[in-house]
């Protein structure tokens, strides 16, 4: 309750007493639905701990589009109460959450008692409407868990290197490293005073590792690529049957020595984790740790670090990224937007296995779609490029069999 004045402004005695008496406290695990689009608006919620994802259903395409994330300290559901309309979106917990619920009747009494609360909520609504069309679908990552899924990993060294990259002088960040068990209250304090909190889980399933998994925004599955790519007890006991779409954003991080990394090793690791995007890192190299830092700094750069004016040439084809045109022998080819984006992702990674999970994340950012959408776009590309330029790695993803020149 001591957080409410800081979140809503100073409350007079009557308003505070009403809140103390009428607020209901909810605890929801990661992946649970708080409200559904179209449901009656019967309450507002104040997010005290955790993070929520907001989805809107597109009736024409049938897709669920993620439009934003809600961070702690924000109020949700009040627009339906103001307008007396159904819920405009579906809200799902991205991690374990604690919320305070205020029913419609108590909400109306609170507004009558305290005009300042109404001003705070109105400002939040205005800010939300201003960002309605924003392409930034994720908020800044606050808490990252490093979960070992191989034996003998030096997670402390990896976490130190990652923290150093996050603290780069160009954009200095406050980073906390936590490897010993703490309480949820301690985590609240760290999140309030730091830009990033790195939670270092234990080598085997434990109460602390379970805490790390359920209280993070970004989950890094750290593996030694040279070891057998079997499911680790941390995965089977702590993650269970959870898909990558539920809970924290998951990334498989494959650590390997300085020699070239065989593509077939990544294939074996991804066989048991097909929906996860992955990174292949040499942990001793600062540039690789910089790539990992970019991954957790916020939303993924959905198409990678490509210039908006890039032009690519391979075989009989030319791809003009700025004009979004594909030419064959100098003649424009009809190609849909998703297929074009998918081609750009493959061009940036020639010869490399690109998983279905990566393509879904980069080509359909913020959308909940089926994997067959990837196959449909690849089929459209093959009609133009021919059957051999894009090969299928059965059960895993696709590979571009060309050597594009970036002009």
pLDDT tens string 204-245? 999 999 999 989 888 999 999 889 889 999 999 988 755 544
Average pLDDT, the chain: 79
Q: What is the pLDDT of residue 244?
A: 45
| Out of 116-125, 177-186, 251-260, least confident range | 116-125
Choose between 122 and 105: higher pLDDT.
Answer: 105
Mean pLDDT of 252-269: 75
- Is pTM, for the whole model, over 0.85? no
Choose between 221 and 138: higher pLDDT.
Answer: 221
**CA–CA–CA angle 260, 264, 265 (5° rounding):** 70
CB 139 within 8 A of CB 298: yes
CB 138 within 8 A of CB 298: yes
CATH of 311-406, one of 3.20.20.150, 1.10.533.10, 1.10.10.10, 3.40.1390.30: 1.10.10.10
Could you report how far apart the first and last alpha carbons of the chain are, in Å? 59
pLDDT tens string 47-78? 888 888 888 876 766 667 777 778 777 778 87
Q: What is the pLDDT of residue 135?
A: 41
What residues does each domain of the chain span? Answer: 4-130, 143-296, 311-406
pLDDT at 182 over 90: yes
pLDDT at 185 over 80: yes
CATH of 4-130, one of 3.40.50.720, 3.40.1080.10, 2.120.10.80, 2.60.120.10: 2.60.120.10
Task: Give the chain's largest Cα–Cα span.
Answer: 76
pLDDT at 141 over 70: no
Q: What is the pLDDT of residue 300?
A: 37
Q: What is the DSSP string of 159-178?
A: HHHHHHHHT-TTS---EEEE
Strands of 311-314's sheet, edge to edge? Answer: 331-333, 325-328, 317-320, 311-314, 405-406
Where does 79-128 show beta strands of DSSP type E? 90-93, 97-103
Q: What is the pLDDT of residue 51?
A: 86
Q: What is the pLDDT of residue 8?
A: 55
CATH of 143-296, one of 3.30.590.20, 1.10.3720.10, 3.40.50.300, 1.10.490.10: 3.40.50.300
Residues of the chain above pLDDT 70, percent = 77
Do 143-296 and 4-130 have the same topology in CATH? no
Strands of 24-28's sheet, edge to edge? Answer: 24-28, 97-103, 43-49, 75-76
Q: What is the pLDDT of residue 272?
A: 81
Q: What 8-state DSSP symbol labels residue 95?
A: S
b/e string for 237-252 if b means 16 or more Cβ within 10 A?
Answer: ebbeeeebbbbbbbbb
């Amino acid at each position: 309750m001591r957080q409410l004045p800081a979140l809503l402004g100073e409350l007079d005695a009557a308003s505070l007493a009403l809140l103390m008496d009428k607020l209901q406290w909810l605890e929801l695990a990661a992946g649970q639905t708080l409200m559904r689009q179209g449901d009656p608006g019967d309450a507002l919620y104040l997010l005290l701990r955790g993070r929520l994802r907001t989805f809107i259903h597109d009736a024409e395409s049938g897709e669920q589009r993620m439009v934003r994330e809600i961070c702690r300290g924000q109020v949700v559901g009040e627009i339906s109460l103001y307008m007396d309309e159904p819920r405009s979106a579906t809200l799902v917990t991205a991690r374990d959450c604690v919320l305070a619920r205020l029913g419609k009747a108590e909400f109306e009494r609170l507004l009558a008692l305290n005009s300042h609360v109404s001003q705070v909520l109105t400002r939040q609504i205005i800010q939300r409407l201003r960002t309605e069309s924003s392409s930034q679908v994720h908020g800044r990552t606050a808490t990252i868990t490093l979960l070992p899924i191989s034996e003998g990993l030096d997670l402390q060294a990896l976490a130190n290197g990652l923290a150093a990259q996050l603290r780069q002088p160009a954009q200095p960040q406050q980073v906390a490293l936590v490897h010993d068990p703490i309480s949820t209250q301690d985590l609240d304090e760290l999140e309030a005073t730091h830009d990033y909190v790195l939670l270092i889980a234990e080598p085997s399933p434990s109460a602390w590792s379970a805490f790390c998994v359920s209280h993070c925004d970004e989950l890094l599955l750290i593996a030694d690529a040279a070891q057998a790519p079997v499911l680790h007890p941390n995965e089977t006991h702590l993650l269970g049957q959870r898909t990558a779409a539920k809970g924290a954003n998951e990334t498989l991080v494959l650590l390997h020595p300085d020699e070239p990394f065989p593509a077939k090793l990544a294939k074996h690791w991804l066989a048991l984790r097909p929906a996860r995007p992955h990174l292949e890192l040499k942990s001793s190299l600062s540039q690789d740790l910089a790539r990992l830092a970019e991954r957790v700094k916020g939303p993924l750069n959905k198409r990678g670090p490509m210039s908006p004016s890039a032009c690519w040439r391979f075989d009989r084809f030319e791809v003009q990224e700025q004009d979004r045109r594909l030419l064959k022998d100098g003649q424009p080819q009809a190609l849909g937007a998703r297929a074009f984006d998918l081609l750009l992702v493959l061009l940036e990674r020639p010869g490399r296995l690109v998983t279905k999970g990566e393509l879904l994340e980069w080509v359909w950012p913020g959308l909940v779609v089926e994997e067959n959408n990837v196959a449909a776009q690849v089929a459209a590309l093959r009609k133009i490029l021919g059957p051999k330029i894009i090969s299928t790695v059965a059960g895993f993803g696709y590979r571009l069999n060309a050597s594009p020149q970036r002009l």
